Amino acid sequence: MKLLKVWVLSLTVVIGLNACSTTENTVTEIEPISIFPSWYKNVEFTSDSLGYSGYATAIAVDSTKAIQRAVAQARIHLEKKIAQLTEEIRLEFKESGSNDAENADFIIILRTAHAGVVENAKVSETISSKLDGYYRGFASVEISKSEVRSTLEKGFTGHPRYWGGFSESPMFATYF
């Protein structure tokens, strides 16, 4: 008898809960609002088979100033990565037995040459958005791999032995 009462009570609870449930989904999904433009990569640096890009965002009370700051920062991001790549190539050049790679003149020429890369980078995208009384600027700068190669080569003008050894590195061919 007790078992029957428990069974009836359980059945009543299940039927009652089922009657109260709905078959419709009541959860509404809300799309998150992004402050980032569609072209903006939320990273400092990207590369592809054709070239390199630096990205940045900056804040200012003036839209023009926000964009200028973002462009300057995007150039810094691009320069930093190109510097890392050229240093990796120099180290590979050194490990392959080159005495030139440790020469102070070579290192100065290389640093000067890679600084020219940033000067030749082009601003590809900019935009600013007003948010809560200030402006957020977004910027992208880019340079093609062929432009990187020619800029580095110009930096080695007058030093063909240095350029030949550096540019013939397998890693140089991989990066540029």
The CA angle 161-82-72, to the nearest 5 degrees, is 130
Which residue is it, tokens 């940033």? 118
pTM of the model: 0.76
Confidence of residue 1 (pLDDT cuts 50, 70, 90): low
Q: Provide the pLDDT for residue 118.
A: 86
Identify the weakest region by mean pLDDT among 14-28, 30-44, 153-167. Answer: 14-28
19-37 confidence digits (pLDDT tens): 554 444 445 454 455 788 9
pLDDT interval class at 114 (50, 70, 90)? confident
* Sign of the alpha-carbon dihedral angle for 7, 12, 15, 16: negative
